[in-house]
Amino acid sequence: MHDFQQLNRRQWLGTAAGALSLATLGRTGKLAAAAAVRPRVAAVLTEFTYRSHAHVILENFLEPYLFNGQVTESGMDVPCMYVDQFPEGRDLARDIALRYGIKIYPTIAEALTCGGDKLAVDAVLSIGEHGKYPINERGQQMYPRKEFFDQIAAVFRQSGRSVPVFNDKHLSYRWDWSVEMMQTAQELKIPFMAGSSVPLAQRRPPFEMPSQAVIEEAVSVHSGGMESYDFHAMEVLQSLVESRKGGETGVKEIQVLEGDAVWKAADEGRWNESLAAAAMKAAEGKEVGPLRTFVEPATGQQHPVHVILITYRDGLKATVVRIGASATRWCFACKVAGNPEPLATSFYVGPWQNRNLFKALSHAIQVFFREGKAPYPVERTHLVTGMLAAAMDSHFEQNKLRATPQLDVIYQPTDYRAMREMGASWKIVTEETPEAPGIDSRRSLAK
């Protein structure tokens, strides 16, 4: 085992070369081919600032990273980039571009063609998260993910071919735009992947959903903001319940409840408070007491609570619960037929807050770019996009119950365990480990 704190860049790169394995290069296992042919990736970004999604994803394309305890190198080049915003005093894009030989182009089309007239890259990394964008009447930040996708697709049309595209987080704040994106991907035969980093985090305690389980009820808990963190909690939920018997068939109705209405609904049996408590116990490693009086340890205060009640078309009832105030709390519990005790786990993001959470996601994206096939269905994120939009509609309409006949999304899950962090990395990097070198934004921030 290497002392992670003592590695300088030269040692780090040397270790990466020595430790690279067939597994870390993806399921193709073609070490020689990966070394000889380096896919060219275009990055399309809203902004590149410290701890933005652009930072915590792209650093794993530009520098070696840990995945399941192995030092891993992307084997890819990022020759070109489009950046929509350059916030004064916080922008890292220009500095990173200079240091890593990346050219920033003024349009998405020029980035994908590297200034030419035809598609000149092998994959596109679209990160439409962070930056100053309007917030609509429903409280949704209108990130330009659909606009980015449309411009990417236009280059594919003009060039007569498509390459894999990863879309960070949900597809759009609008369901109809998500539908259009899926239709365009199908029409142009675009290999398409999207979604959250959280389902790939280490599960503590270890947990695998029983094959073809009959899930009677499920709860996904988070402690962040409405919509932005509801999305991740929905992806956690969906990444687990999609493997139930019969696969995914869609969602029938959704309702948001807030404040006292949350506990009234629990008393009426509309959602299972004891399941949420089991999930919180998995996250905290101990009983947390009554959820109705839960005080966040870090703040010493109670915080606003809301739930999203979800009824699936096959009758499954699920709830997304926001309680407390923590950027790193993600947990899940469910009742499975034939098991008297709830099944529960939490998703550990690793040291350094959420920064290391994105290493497994970056690895999954790289496997996708290399193989041209998403390791888990994009339909998962498409459905979650619609669920989240319906929840925000319910919130805007004074917590009205929303029927969702449009969410008739049907798909079968895939086994994506090879993309998940199983915990070996956190035996090397611990909570006591100072943040390691790599893309060190502190140098830029000090200028």
Q: What is the CATH number of the domain that holds 26?
A: 3.40.50.720
Place of tokens 């899950």: 413
Whether residue 105 is found in the same domain as residue 194: yes
Whether residue 70 is found in the same domain as residue 122: yes
Does 235 fall in a domain?
A: yes
Whether residue 342 is found in the same domain as residue 225: yes
pLDDT digits (tens, 9 = 90+) for 359-402: 999 999 999 999 999 999 999 999 999 999 999 999 999 999 99
Number of domains comprising the chain: 2
What pLDDT score was predicted for residue 37?
A: 86
Whether residue 212 is found in the same domain as residue 192: no
Whether residue 330 is found in the same domain as residue 296: yes
CA atoms within 13 A on the CB side of 133: 18
Task: Judge whether residue 354 has pLDDT over 60.
Answer: yes
What pLDDT score was predicted for residue 418?
A: 97
What pLDDT score was predicted for residue 436?
A: 67
What pLDDT score was predicted for residue 11?
A: 36
Task: Judge whether residue 2 has pLDDT over 70.
Answer: no
pLDDT digits (tens, 9 = 90+) for 132-143: 999 999 999 999
Task: Judge whether residue 115 has pLDDT over 60.
Answer: yes
Whether residue 39 is found in the same domain as residue 126: yes
As given in the structure block, the two tokens for residue 413 are 């899950």
Task: Judge whether residue 263 has pLDDT over 80.
Answer: yes
Whether residue 327 is found in the same domain as residue 369: no
Does 60 fall in a domain?
A: yes
Q: Which residue type, as a one-letter code, is found at position 354?
A: N
What pLDDT score was predicted for residue 248?
A: 98
What pLDDT score was predicted for residue 228?
A: 94
Does 31 fall in a domain?
A: yes
pLDDT digits (tens, 9 = 90+) for 58-74: 999 999 999 999 999 99
What pLDDT score was predicted for residue 32?
A: 38
* Confidence band for 36, pLDDT divided at 50, 70 and 90: low
What pLDDT score was predicted for residue 437?
A: 58
How many residues comprise the chain?
A: 447
As given in the structure block, the two tokens for residue 152 are 């990417």
Whether residue 182 is found in the same domain as residue 58: yes
How many percent of the chain have pLDDT more than 70? 89
What pLDDT score was predicted for residue 438?
A: 55
How many percent of the chain have pLDDT more than 90? 87
pLDDT digits (tens, 9 = 90+) for 293-323: 999 999 999 999 999 999 999 999 999 999 9
Whether residue 158 is found in the same domain as residue 257: no
Task: Judge whether residue 403 has pLDDT over 90.
Answer: yes
Whether residue 190 is found in the same domain as residue 311: no
Task: Judge whether residue 29 has pLDDT over 50.
Answer: no
Sign of the torsion formed by the C-alpha atoms of 14, 15, 16 and 20: positive
Whether residue 222 is found in the same domain as residue 191: no
pLDDT digits (tens, 9 = 90+) for 145-196: 999 999 999 999 999 999 999 999 999 999 999 999 999 999 999 999 999 9
Q: What is the mean pLDDT of residues 4-29?
A: 35
Does 384 fall in a domain?
A: no
Whether residue 150 is found in the same domain as residue 270: no
Between strands 326-336 and 343-348, the pairing is antiparallel
What pLDDT score was predicted for residue 211?
A: 84
Does 184 fall in a domain?
A: yes
* Confidence band for 435, pLDDT divided at 50, 70 and 90: confident
* Confidence band for 7, pLDDT divided at 50, 70 and 90: very low
Does 275 fall in a domain?
A: yes
Boundary of a domain, candidates 304, 331, 348:
348
Does 302 fall in a domain?
A: yes
CA 28, 34, 40, 46: dihedral to nearest 10 degrees? Answer: 60
Does 388 fall in a domain?
A: no
Query: Cα(285)–Cα(205) distance, rounded to whole angstroms?
Result: 9
Query: Which residue range is the domain that position 436 belongs to?
Result: 4-199+355-374+417-442
